[in-house]
Structure 1
């Protein structure tokens, strides 16, 4: 990946060379000459890298030297550019001198820059001599023509979105699926284990996920949980994950529990439930013993509960001391292999334009047979060949097929697919996935920000960086190099991905051999020195897992540091750091280190402790992203942060001590660049000044994403800030008090709108239905009697969620919402019947009714929707009508606690109802929502977590 290093540096140098500045007047000629030298080096890389892969040690050293020279050049040039940026921000007399002349300190720095550039040039001259002695040929013709733009073959509008994107396409596993489900549902009452055993890449997780997500399994078991064990795990972390899944919510007390307390909590909860727990990718025989060593977490209540386990080893499957059914997953037969392979290599949407389709099918069947029934091999190779529809290439695959067994076969297929990627930028993006832990679910939004900070995304004339990066994700998915977990409902693009553990291992190995990245996991006994294929390689990117009580062993010239689950570690001084991304960790002396990282592009600290930001953070003039979700700062957020001119994405949790910048402070710099602003304003430690916030937000006219959440009621004036926000695509506002009406105009570009209020007095639909791009609408709190959607309204709406509406009549004219596929009504307790207009929605395929108990199973519209094939999901926490449970509550003392009878949000809601005088409301015979409003109760019947489905990922 030295080629990506050269390209990134050349991009920085080219940008600098175009800037007219007196600051670099005495060094500009040196910088320009260095640019040409780096281009010459780039010409040697292709031949040098080919010889390195053939085992030439001299070529390997040369590639490493080229990478080192490129990064050294980048560091010294950026140091000079940083000085220019800093001087532009200076005010007053000294600022004028700095901008139009040279201060003595600047002259000294420029002298050092010149000396460093001369040293780098000498090193480059030595590299040229080494290349000549090794007979490395410069391929100057391909240094700048390699394709950098990957076009997305799919349209932006993905059509109906109600399907479950986590649900994978099953090819050839129908019989296996039925057997597994049959064993889970059998009449055996005692707790038992069903184990799926097969080699890596055979489809164990795919089959288990299909079973786990099926509607029949969800209905049969009262509690379900999925945890991925992998080679590196901590028993207490698995147990805490299970608690969160089976009990819902995010109980802060769980984080402080020890292993015994968590296990006991699980045991006591599951003792009353028929449950299913999936343990995916178990490697060691003692895993079950470790999970249950403190207390038996999974009780046998003789009610048909099950444990589903996937593993590569049969002894692991047989080790669990309880009734066990071991299912050996068979490889796909020849016909099923062809079905899977052809779905990837010759997809249906391309068959009509393929010439000589019969020839490709003939060759494809032979290739599919060679894959020995392994789904991963079939999918990856099929994805590779779909991009190479050339009969000669397909024939060459057959003739060059490796004769070795499955392990080497998979490596050869992955290496071929990697080499076939259209440019070195995309190859770097794929290898970068090695930085994440095994089986990690990666949010594409975060991954794109990392790629951009690493300069892996090139500037193209057609797309902004984020668009190009999303096309790269799509390209990797089309080639089956990443697995799609789900897509964004509003945008259709891929939202979360994971990478198969076989491919993950290959990426780690390739990244180390290439000197691209070193992944270190102390749990697995790995270290950078021992695991590296070449002790002479210098790494610039590091990924660590589960370290504790030490200074992170990062080289002084490290450019990227990713870390997961540290226990009280210290960061070294990293002068050239570009990326710092750490999760679930405790940091020491962070305050001292971060101020000196002047090259930093991305700072992401999620769910961390020991974090304080110094006022010197305003000197990080290249910083693009700040993400502190889930992290409680030990200091007030410094206002110097708003001086950073390159800031594009800003994410803060509720407990941050934050105040908006005062009007007197200039926000002109970031108002031109800031694209994402996510702020969860809590009630503790926040100096919230509404007027200042409105002024601040109104200047962010380049925003594409805005999310504001407040514990207290949000002032209605927030809705007035949209006048200048013509680029807004995603809006999330929660929660308002009473809104008389919505503003007459929202940004016409908005695709996703989430808005919650205690009460909206005027029908919001006549305003919202005019938004031409709106795809997802989630609205809460309408207080009117009627609601009307006109015939031309909501032309692109696909998902509609209405929460806590008091609407009794909903009129829908024919022709409205032509693309609506998913409708959810939550807490609309005064709605006694479904509108007949739902029958005229041509795309409606999924209807969810939660806490809408007045609508009976005999509702005419409901019955007709079922007949037409619409999937109906109707549920509430209580399995009987609100009128019935109100009658039951009459005979109970007002101080009764219902938490033992019901669970989660409903228990808390019922307890509050009783405490605050539900009995008096009943005596007045008011419908429930109106009765609650009559007493001034909060409208939202569920805790805030339900209203913010995306908060879980941040917090």
Structure 2
């Protein structure tokens, strides 16, 4: 990926030291020269890449040299720019003294940088000479588009196809059959298994997901969970995931529980419930035995509970020791293959602009037949061709088609789709997915922050980086290169994705061969610190399940990702730009991180051994800081606020505001997201200083704040200076006498949690013109009113712990509301009649609302009109404490309120 490397370097250099500064006057001319030379080298790379892929090792070495030179040039230029940034931050008298004190060492450093740039210039000259000897020609063909323009109006709610419905094409009969086996109580009331067996890419997971999310299955089972097993799994991790889904437990509450305790909790909870457990992508015959090894977690109450299992192996499907129905998922026949292919390649909104549809259909049917009935191949090829509505291109693909077996057929389709991606940036973004473990659920916002930190997203005139990156995700989804798991109701964009294991394997191999990224997984047998080609040195590494060692990377590595690492040490990484570690134990972290002056992203999730040094403020390029760890980490240094480039900050505890004068002068100007979960210890927490600091963050788009035990009501006053806020989450208020007179008019999602809200919040909140999602907790008034013009765009509303008896809704209010949840509104003895006048209401969730009878006239009418109604915990007497003792409703209510202080804290966090 030398092309993307040079592209990212060119974009980054443009924002560095090319502006006129007296300090760097001797470097600026050299920077301009390097930019021109790198741009010229980039034009040779298309020709070189074709030769490299044909097996020319000399060309492969030449391509590697280009990438090395580009990175070395960027490192040198950025080192000079860093000196300038550091000196500009010190503006007072002491700063001037420090600048003069450092002048001799800075001049020496500048001389060293100049010498390094001269060395890179000589290296580039040698590379040009080599191009002539290797007969690599200048490519003057079409210049690639840097930005993917939107194909639809910028209304995220309607701009995307329903990918799930399209992917189900061809499986209608199988869908009905499997749903019937799951919900038919007459056939088998004992706990039993329904297994879907088929080869990779045949659509097992897609079909199972559609069954799992169907309204029929949701209404039939009182509890349901979905876990992906994959080739490597830990029984306790699967059980904890199931527990979180069925019981609403959080990571912190189950982190210290052992396998027996988790299994026992699940068993007791499910004992009197009809439940469904989905085990997706099972590889080993003893998986069910492993999950139930310590305790039988899944009881058989002879009430029609079911296990739905997907696997590639028939012996796995038949091994479970309970009644089993095995469904062999067949390949699609010719007509169904064409139906799926045409939905992808020739969607209805494109057919209307095609002149000769018949010609495309004729070619398309032949291409669909070539895919041999595999839905994954049909979807990817269809997504690829939907971007190339040219009959000649379709004909060329047909004539080039390999007459080989399925594995090589898939590689052919993937290679075509990858090569057809519009630019080198998007190709690099796709290969970057190899950095994550197999079957890993990827949060798009986290992925975008990684892409931006890696400089894989180019600057464009009309879009901020995050917008361009979201367009990239949409492009990959439209081409079926990623699976969309869900979308944000508030924003409409894709929120979580996953990559099919076949595509993941292809990406991993391609990334390693290109020297783009090396994924090392000891448990899967993939190891080694170099790429498959000795000529291509990788600058990015992803480690999985390593333990007790110094991570084996070269000192010039730029990106390091780690998952499930046990007691590892980081080497000195002078040029590191990305550090992303999850569920790991780090040794000597603080002694390494302070020297990583090029760092763009620091993400440590659920890691131990983390302590930030005071020198963290020297990381003047840091864009994303995320510390979300199991133990309470030590204090976050105030020097964090010295970093001018911060865009996203996610902190859990350990943060205190800087003194007011300092926060006004140094708060980051580019900060877009600020998420803070605080549990102040002692009496020295400076609440007033915190309010002053937060009030200065006037460019924020996402703001989430939670404080235990309670958050001061003064927080609501800071919104007057935050006109750009789109997403607000505020948790743990004690008593709110009234709502602020005005929230930011741009807000689309609002979560507000308090013990007591005295004033009816609706008259203020219903005036927010962009509000799409609203979660409220704690209103203690007797009545609540929504006017006829209120909530014009609201789609999701959740009300928790309301004491409202009367809820008046004027006709015309909430015209777009589709999802409504009422939880613990125990004084509401009857559902309001106004619900019947909501034209879009399709889903109603009632939790702990035992006082609402099944004979409630509004409830019955909603069901008659087709609204899906879900009820949770109809009787409080069934609820048990962790020790197994029953509790009365009043006692449980108190327990629940305190539990909410913790649960609602995390409701808005992206993970």
Considering the TM-score relative to the shorter chain, is it more than 0.5? yes
- State the alpha-carbon separation in 2 of the partners of residues 114 and 344 from structure 1: 54
SS in 1 for 2:709: strand
Aligned to 1:23: 23
1:734 is the counterpart of 2:731: yes
- State the alpha-carbon separation in 2 of the partners of residues 622 and 539 from structure 1: 23
- State the alpha-carbon separation in 1 of the partners of residues 882 and 814 from structure 2: 32
1:217/1:571 CA distance change after superposition, 3 Å: same
1:319/1:675 CA distance change after superposition, 3 Å: same
Aligned to 1:374: 374
Task: Work out whether residues 703 and 728 of structure 1, in 8 Å CA contact, stay in contact via their aligned partners in 2.
Answer: yes
- State the alpha-carbon separation in 2 of the partners of residues 773 and 697 from structure 1: 23
Aligned to 1:682: 679
Task: Work out whether residues 824 and 849 of structure 2, in 8 Å CA contact, stay in contact via their aligned partners in 1.
Answer: yes
1:947 is the counterpart of 2:885: no
SS in 1 for 2:5: helix
- State the alpha-carbon separation in 1 of the partners of residues 512 and 683 from structure 2: 45
Aligned to 2:122: 122
Task: Work out whether residues 880 and 886 of structure 2, in 8 Å CA contact, stay in contact via their aligned partners in 1.
Answer: no
How far did residue 191 of structure 1 move? Answer: 4.1
1:155/1:825 CA distance change after superposition, 3 Å: farther
Shifted more, 785-794 versus 5-14: the winner is: 785-794
1:870 is the counterpart of 2:867: yes
Aligned to 1:503: 503
Aligned to 1:584: 583
How far did residue 813 of structure 1 move? Answer: 2.2
1:906-921 map, 5 Å: 910=887, 913-914=890-891
1:780 is the counterpart of 2:777: yes
Task: Work out whether residues 193 and 322 of structure 1, in 8 Å CA contact, stay in contact via their aligned partners in 2.
Answer: yes
Of the three residues 866, 872, 879, the one matched with 1:902 is: 879
Task: Work out whether residues 710 and 735 of structure 1, in 8 Å CA contact, stay in contact via their aligned partners in 2.
Answer: yes
Task: Work out whether residues 57 and 535 of structure 2, in 8 Å CA contact, stay in contact via their aligned partners in 1.
Answer: no
SS in 1 for 2:145: coil
1:797 is the counterpart of 2:794: yes
Task: Work out whether residues 671 and 699 of structure 1, in 8 Å CA contact, stay in contact via their aligned partners in 2.
Answer: no
1:97/1:136 CA distance change after superposition, 3 Å: farther
- State the alpha-carbon separation in 2 of the partners of residues 691 and 729 from structure 1: 25
- State the alpha-carbon separation in 2 of the partners of residues 472 and 795 from structure 1: 30
Task: Work out whether residues 201 and 375 of structure 2, in 8 Å CA contact, stay in contact via their aligned partners in 1.
Answer: yes
Task: Work out whether residues 642 and 667 of structure 2, in 8 Å CA contact, stay in contact via their aligned partners in 1.
Answer: yes
1:393/1:407 CA distance change after superposition, 3 Å: same
Normalising by structure 2, we get a TM-score of: 0.94
Task: Work out whether residues 643 and 668 of structure 2, in 8 Å CA contact, stay in contact via their aligned partners in 1.
Answer: no
Aligned to 2:422: 422
1:117/1:209 CA distance change after superposition, 3 Å: same
Shifted more, 757-766 versus 546-555: the winner is: 757-766
SS in 1 for 2:85: helix
Aligned to 2:395: 395
Task: Work out whether residues 863 and 869 of structure 2, in 8 Å CA contact, stay in contact via their aligned partners in 1.
Answer: yes
How far did residue 365 of structure 1 move? Answer: 1.8
Aligned to 2:638: 639
Of the three residues 818, 821, 830, the one matched with 1:821 is: 818
SS in 2 for 1:650: strand
- State the alpha-carbon separation in 1 of the partners of residues 637 and 264 from structure 2: 43
Task: Work out whether residues 156 and 493 of structure 1, in 8 Å CA contact, stay in contact via their aligned partners in 2.
Answer: no
Q: What stretches of structure 1 of length at least 5 have no aligned partner?
A: 880-884, 886-897, 916-931
How far did residue 493 of structure 1 move? Answer: 0.6
Shifted more, 435-444 versus 15-24: the winner is: 15-24
Aligned to 1:699: 696
Aligned to 2:364: 364
Task: Work out whether residues 641 and 668 of structure 2, in 8 Å CA contact, stay in contact via their aligned partners in 1.
Answer: no
- State the alpha-carbon separation in 2 of the partners of residues 941 and 318 from structure 1: 45
Shifted more, 673-682 versus 812-821: the winner is: 812-821
How far did residue 829 of structure 1 move? Answer: 2.1
Task: Work out whether residues 231 and 283 of structure 2, in 8 Å CA contact, stay in contact via their aligned partners in 1.
Answer: yes
Over residues 898-917 of structure 1, what are the superposed CA-to-partner deviations in whole Å (9 max), with x where a residue is unaligned?
6xx424799999558349xx
Aligned to 1:238: 238
1:273/1:644 CA distance change after superposition, 3 Å: same
- State the alpha-carbon separation in 1 of the partners of residues 495 and 588 from structure 2: 35
How far did residue 59 of structure 1 move? Answer: 1.4
Aligned to 2:614: 615
1:215/1:842 CA distance change after superposition, 3 Å: closer
SS in 1 for 2:41: helix
Over residues 81-135 of structure 1, what are the superposed CA-to-partner deviations in whole Å (9 max), with x where a residue is unaligned?
1111111122444633777998111110011001111111111111111111110
Shifted more, 609-618 versus 862-871: the winner is: 862-871
- State the alpha-carbon separation in 2 of the partners of residues 804 and 561 from structure 1: 45
Shifted more, 438-447 versus 228-237: the winner is: 228-237
Q: How many residues align?
A: 908
How far did residue 781 of structure 1 move? Answer: 1.9
Aligned to 2:547: 548
SS in 1 for 2:502: helix
- State the alpha-carbon separation in 2 of the partners of residues 837 and 227 from structure 1: 39
- State the alpha-carbon separation in 1 of the partners of residues 767 and 274 from structure 2: 48
Task: Work out whether residues 359 and 391 of structure 1, in 8 Å CA contact, stay in contact via their aligned partners in 2.
Answer: yes
- State the alpha-carbon separation in 2 of the partners of residues 30 and 174 from structure 1: 64
Aligned to 2:842: 845
Task: Work out whether residues 818 and 842 of structure 2, in 8 Å CA contact, stay in contact via their aligned partners in 1.
Answer: yes
Task: Work out whether residues 168 and 210 of structure 1, in 8 Å CA contact, stay in contact via their aligned partners in 2.
Answer: no
Aligned to 1:857: 854
1:380/1:906 CA distance change after superposition, 3 Å: farther
How far did residue 733 of structure 1 move? Answer: 0.7
1:61-460 map, 5 Å: 61-93=61-93, 95-96=95-96, 103-139=103-139, 145-159=143-157, 169-184=167-182, 185=184, 187-250=187-250, 252=252, 254-263=254-263, 266=266, 270=270, 273-298=273-298, 300=300, 302-460=302-460
4+ runs deviating over 6 angstroms: 97-102, 163-168, 904-909
- State the alpha-carbon separation in 2 of the partners of residues 37 and 472 from structure 1: 28
Task: Work out whether residues 678 and 707 of structure 2, in 8 Å CA contact, stay in contact via their aligned partners in 1.
Answer: yes
Task: Work out whether residues 628 and 652 of structure 1, in 8 Å CA contact, stay in contact via their aligned partners in 2.
Answer: yes
Shifted more, 550-559 versus 244-253: the winner is: 244-253
1:790/1:634 CA distance change after superposition, 3 Å: closer
Aligned to 1:56: 56
1:816/1:194 CA distance change after superposition, 3 Å: closer
1:373/1:562 CA distance change after superposition, 3 Å: same
- State the alpha-carbon separation in 2 of the partners of residues 569 and 948 from structure 1: 31
SS in 1 for 2:497: strand
SS in 1 for 2:469: helix
- State the alpha-carbon separation in 2 of the partners of residues 904 and 204 from structure 1: 38
- State the alpha-carbon separation in 2 of the partners of residues 231 and 573 from structure 1: 34
Shifted more, 356-365 versus 70-79: the winner is: 356-365
SS in 2 for 1:277: strand
Task: Work out whether residues 732 and 905 of structure 2, in 8 Å CA contact, stay in contact via their aligned partners in 1.
Answer: no
Aligned to 1:712: 709
Q: What stretches of structure 2 of length at least 5 have no aligned partner?
A: none
- State the alpha-carbon separation in 2 of the partners of residues 8 and 251 from structure 1: 37
Over residues 807-863 of structure 1, what are the superposed CA-to-partner deviations in whole Å (9 max), with x where a residue is unaligned?
222222222222222222222222233333333322222222223344433444333
How far did residue 79 of structure 1 move? Answer: 0.7
How far did residue 717 of structure 1 move? Answer: 1.0
RMSD: 2.7
1:461-480 map, 5 Å: 461-480=461-480
How far did residue 752 of structure 1 move? Answer: 0.7
How far did residue 20 of structure 1 move? Answer: 2.0
1:226/1:844 CA distance change after superposition, 3 Å: closer
1:865/1:254 CA distance change after superposition, 3 Å: closer
Over residues 558-608 of structure 1, what are the superposed CA-to-partner deviations in whole Å (9 max), with x where a residue is unaligned?
100111011111111111000000111111111111111110000000011
SS in 2 for 1:609: coil
Aligned to 1:725: 722
1:535/1:159 CA distance change after superposition, 3 Å: closer
- State the alpha-carbon separation in 1 of the partners of residues 704 and 666 from structure 2: 21
- State the alpha-carbon separation in 2 of the partners of residues 635 and 941 from structure 1: 26
1:294/1:824 CA distance change after superposition, 3 Å: closer
Shifted more, 19-28 versus 698-707: the winner is: 19-28
- State the alpha-carbon separation in 2 of the partners of residues 73 and 686 from structure 1: 50
Aligned to 1:570: 569
Task: Work out whether residues 612 and 637 of structure 2, in 8 Å CA contact, stay in contact via their aligned partners in 1.
Answer: yes
Task: Work out whether residues 654 and 678 of structure 2, in 8 Å CA contact, stay in contact via their aligned partners in 1.
Answer: no
